[in-house]
Chains A and B, each alone.
Chain A
Amino acid sequence: MGIKKIKIKMKKKIVIWYCIIGISINSCVDDRNFSTPIVNCVEPELEVTNTIAQIKEMAGFGVVEFTNDFIISGYVVSSDVSGNIYKTISIQDAPENPTAAIRIAIDQTNTYTKYPVGRKLFVKLKGLSIGYNRGSLEIGKAIGTTIERIPSLELHKHFFRSCEDVQITPKKVAISEINNNMTDMLIALENVQFASKELGASYANANNTNSEDRVVVQLSENCGFQSEINLRNSGFSNFRNQQLPEGKGEIIGVLNKYYSEYQLLIRNTEDVVFTEERCEEASNLQATVSFSELKEMYKGKLVEFGIDTEYVFEGYVISSDVEGNFSEKIVVQDAIENPTGGLQVLVDEELIYEKYEVGDKVLLKLNRLYMDEIEGVLTIGYPKKETIGEITKDDFQNFIINTNANFEIVPREVSLVDLDKMNLQNTLVKINGLQLIANEVGKAFTYYSGTTSAVRQLETCGVFSRIEIKTNGKATFSNEKFPTGNGSIVGVLFGENSKLQIQVRNLEDIFFTNPFEDCPVVEPKIMITEIADPENSTTARFIELYNAGDEVMVLTGWKLNKYLNGANSISGIPIKLTGLRIEPKSFLTIANVGFESVFNKIPNVVTTYITGNGDDVYELVDANGNVQDVYGKVGIDGTGAIWEYVDGKAIRKKNVTEPNAEFDISEWEVFSKVKGSRQNAPQDFNPGVR
């Protein structure tokens, strides 16, 4: 091998080794080291032509398109960082104390990464439009007659970011001061907390994407309610599952108007700054109105308490819907013991007991509520048609403030016979000596199946009057058998005095410890014993009723009818005898208005109804509508009849000791002008004596 060859070979070797070393060191493909883009800001050279306020003034009916080269600027106050605000940007005209703000709809998400809060933004309006969208002004792109979002790919034609990046100071306002001009501004509400009904809830829902409104309440210095606003939380926000904070403090948000209602949108939960203890309204509320004052206010017509009233009623819960017998109402009485009365409040809520238990002391704020009488009891609620309806689910807790103090309510013990004269409606009573009437024994509270409500009759042996117990068909015990024994029942009393009803909270309210008694049938022996038509005074006409039996008779539901001049139907409005009672062997006088001065005696009932002038029929009817006693023949004019008592009287013969539903002239002794035996008052009459 020659030297030349060796040299060539050496050269080749050098090339090879150079390559080997070169490969190990050298890297010629650049796939990881890139120069970092320099993120600098170039201020756009744009001249603002109009203020936001001026632009808003250009809005008219429908959609107004900008055809001029208008340019506005503003500071971004909204942010979609949490997903609560979606595809809109709100800008206002100053970082502090703004005078106008507007919302711009764009078809883009994650706008906060480009237009963060505080960034000044120029908007070229040419080609865009302004118009109302769900109650508030919005800038967007007109499609026909509606405002739509600006397509993301057209944004660069309209949006120009300034390099100015400022701190936005939210505008401090009271909820009550909020007005149209403030929509889309960043506002701060101080001294606010979530309404008590919202406590325990999350901003929206963890397991679905429904949006929720949460009521924020603004309070006065001493925790009094001032006003409220909805905090609107999107079901797509990343804080949708977070619990609402319980404290009190400040909420910052973008004001929005949804049709006629204002709502606040937070950018993220850092906008809710609750640093103080929650204020419980109840501790600052004082009762201002008593039951008797309320009763006084009720004049038979719907009472409107108005907006500015400060009526607060203090009461104690006596009803319970645990077993479903009471539903959609709360009954409160005005004292723990010996109440003077109570109210029932209608609420649209299924599980009231979770918030109001029996014995809870509550304060009822009547401001903005209404009162009427339903089923004989004073009822509070929202107006509904001519009367009262339920307070809505969302609102009732704002009116019924639970102090969370709980007391044992002692029911008032009463007997059936005294019940009708005591006005204990809407209070808790304990009626002793009750049992089912004989032909209801064996029945269920309602029926053995189904959800129809029903009433059962209860009685006390030896007392003619009865009381009904009402059971809701949806109560858990409604299909159970009604206990057969005898004892006391605790419940809430309601209904007219003429027809009282009781409603129990649960089965423990029925204490039937004694065996069922076979009550002797009490036959009322109330009879007409004297009918007077004195010749000398038409206003001293009277009718005397007599209890021939041995029991006190409570005349609840009884009526006295008259039939004038041979009428076939009852004349006028009959006299209701409810509230009256006759002791055994005693009398009751129902008289016209002149009776007292003529006889110098006070009749039991004074009424102009007693006008019988000799040819008219009187009829006594019991609570069941059965005729108990009658004088004269219904449908026959007594003129010329043997029972005519014109200018005279009819007296029951002493030997008659029972009423008779069939008129029998032989039981009577009749005096009249026709018979020549005129009678004058007072000497010829003897009311109250037989």
Chain B
Amino acid sequence: MACLAGALVVGIRDAAAQTSAFPAEDLEFFEKRVRPLLAERCYECHSASAKKLKGGLLLDSRAAALKGGDTRPAVVPGQPDKSLLLEAVRYGNQDLQMPPKSRLSDAEVATLAEWVKRGAPWPAEAAAQRASGKGFDLQQRKQTHWSWTPPRAEPVPAVKNSAWSAAPVDRFILAKLEFKQLTPAPAADPRALLRRLHFDLIGLPPSPEDAEAFARVLSPSLLPSVTPSPAGQREGETGRRRESAIASVVDKLLASPAFGERWARHWLDLVRYAETRGHEFEPPIPNAYHYRDYVIRALNADVPYNQFVIEHLAGDLVAKPRINPATGGNESVLGTGFWFLGEEVHSPVDIRQDECDRLDNRLDVMSKTFLGMTVACARCHDHKFDAISQRDYYALAGFLISSTYRQVPFTAMETHREIAAQLVQLRSAEQAKLLQAAARALRPGVTTTLLSLTNTTPFPSTQPATGTGTSPSLRVLVDYAKPGPKDWVQDGWAFGTRPAQPGEIIFGDSAERPLTGLVTRAAAVRDPAFNRLAAKGVERDVGTLGEWERSGQTLRTPDTTLTANSLWYLVRGPVRAYAAVDSHLIIKGPLHGALLREFKDERNRWRWVEHPLAAYRGHRVHAEFNPVGTAPLAIAMVVQADTKPELPAGLAGPMANPPAAQLAALREKLLGVIAEMESGRVSAETAPLADWLIQNLDQLCPPGSAESQQLAAAAKPALARHAELAARIQPVSVVAPAMLDGSGVDEFLLVRGQPRNPAGATPRRFLEALSGTEVPKFVTGSGRLELAQQLIDPANPFTARAIVNRVWHHLFGRGLVPTVDNLGVLGQPPTHRELLDHLAVHFVRDLNWSVKALIRELVLTRAYQMASTPNDARAEQLDPENELLHRANLRRLEGEAIRDAVLAVSGRLDPKIGGPSVMVHLTPFMDGRGKPGSGPLDGAGRRSLYTSVRRNFLPPMMLAFDMPIPFTTMGRRNVSNVPAQSLILMNDPFIVEQTRVWAKRLASVSEPAERVRQMYLAAFSRPPSEPELQDALAFVSAQAERLGSTSADARVWADLGHVLFNVKEFIYLN
């Protein structure tokens, strides 16, 4: 270190020493022409006295100018054309134009050029010192903010009123209250409590019957008092009865499928769930609802939260995926769909900038959701407040650019995985036998028929082909003859479980043609068993990419940086190729059509095909291949090159009309090949000829001949087995958005977040403050699984705290850290740090990450069950924000819960769980590009989370009631109070319609007072008071009079229902 500092000092001294050597006229030129120019046009941002130094560049000393700013030296003495300063002032580079507001005059630019040309003369002088701001000190930041320290198992504090509750949570709450000499509020009214439990746990009101039954069990005489009663015994008895009644309600609600629906909506707020990609034309995020249903199922199944996290980060990579017991489908892989729920742009002019914005959003959502930290703040610079460096941001970005999007056939993939393995087994088991049988069938034909074959048959070349297929000028992305350990990546198993080797048989699909050929070169070879795969009845991506059959039959190459004009594919058979440049996906519109290319091939011969991509030089790219129809396909190599590569040895094209002498030689050669086949093994050199024989089996061994029949008989058992396996393949795939792992690529650190300003690559790793700078050893290409493991490591201080705090937020109305998505410096500090830590530790250690167990424990506390009424003036004074929880919080229901309650009360609610969304109902105010057809006014009676979430057509009622716009993590919704809310409840056709549905349902209750009672029980879970009953009856008859009707008229009851929907008790929980 000392040595380095010394070197720096010397460096500066040298520079200073040099300056004195400038001729006087050069110095005069500088003083007269250059320094004033710099001062006038540059120093506002690039001097020691700048209010805010821009780009880290100082231009007020020669040394600083030579050193440059964040990117590279600004001045190269003597070389204006190599000096960044000149590049900037010449305004030629769209990304670097200085001064930013107005360009210099041509004369001024010439002055600067002249100055640099003269060697940048500058008199010897001391450089002005910039008062240095506080630098970024990661360790210091980590040590000074509470949330970086892992949670400790805090001892449960002692309390005076120990009789209030023995639950540790209550003790933590009570201790703080007692410290302020406050007492907790009394227990909530049973009906209020029941309502609270129902909305909190399942998001729906209790049925009138449930409300009545619960109230009977918990009649007020059985409620415990705050102070211990002298009649301890009886008190204990009733207390236990009360507790068990509450516990059984809680257990029932936790077991209800509606629980998953309620809490899934909370989760969807975190992952900015939507079903379209927004932007101009709203392309769909095809089949996104499977992700929503996955979350519902996972919550209902109480999948441990740590596993849930792993599935989100790397569910495609877990060794043993979670299997859906009902469908056999892969559940784990669905978690990765969350990465792709954001916006995507259809024709970005700057494709890389667009990618960087997408990555930013994904990292933002990931870090806020799982860590409660704002990592994305470090995209352009080290985090302003938290112990997160810019390097951390790009280290995480690498995990994402190492992974791609796919529509995964999740229901079939596990079965197919097993079938693919068996197909490989079958092939090796039958390989020798079938080769021998084929040889027997071919021998007579080669001996006798070959020479008489017409010249319409192209013959294989017997010339030894020259060249290896590689040359120094081309760069190989992948050669399936020698793939790297992580190069074999596909969605599904259509290309088998490994590259096929030369000489291996390829099964045919009929008795007459038991073989379709031999593998002639190591390659990814399509297994015809999977030929029937198709994604049917599912939503598709827009554009050509969506039209291609991709799911379960995509081969993915490693990534590379494009340094040539084209990618070249060595293929046999027709193929569709998608050059995934900067992970750009929405290929529809004026730009980027070149990323997709279909190569036809009728002759089934090896050839190089060119994918021209000159416009994308310098960009990151990999290729994804798909077969066409049922045609065979083999992919051997992918390279980048400016000119067509040579065809490798042995794969040369056929010859037509060979002279007789050559044909005779060929026959000798082929007889040798047959002999080799009879041995049961074919070498790589022989494979092309053996393949030719099998391709031309019909000519050499006519169908129906004895030989042909013998071959069919010999192949029959193997074919039957093959057909049996192929028949088990589910041809129609159900698909969902998910991640496909790719090759490991590290992202560059982008100076000031600018894609065109890359510094060095940043090795992939987790946050330095948590796991150091050492790069973990990755088993898979991207390393996401290892990242996921680090996320759920109990030593990570954030993951458990974040989720425990979120659950608390939803149950108590405010998180222990109120800013649930930000546990960092700019978040609010915890109100109960010890309780938060206690819960975080308890959740992991004792509850095994069970969210249901955590919820159960929390709602059974006295703290949760308190009344919300502010009736203690002193407490309101001392704790006006109720931060200490001296009572329960009054809460307004979310838009979804309000709408669901309307449906539940009116009787229209359809309890169906999951499935495709119901199209949003379009009001006349919902307009714009990509406008869909309108859905039904009542959303088909389905719960609100089943209304389609189209980014540009969000439901107005939900927006008015603060449903977040799905663009980033929103763990805590706004609770606003706007006239649109009142106008909706007063005048919206949906509300009015539901009042009529409700009134119609009530028609069977003939007695008016009983009808009012039923309505109150349905809407508020309580019967009306006597004055309320009288008010209602009076309203009904007066309203009937206004209508010129009687109180039997359903319309007046609809009117009463309408009023009840508008009463604040309907949308507030006390």
Q: Do A and B come from one complex?
A: no
Q: Which residues on B are within 8 Å of A, measured CB to CB?
A: none
Q: Which residues on A are within 8 Å of B, measured CB to CB?
A: none
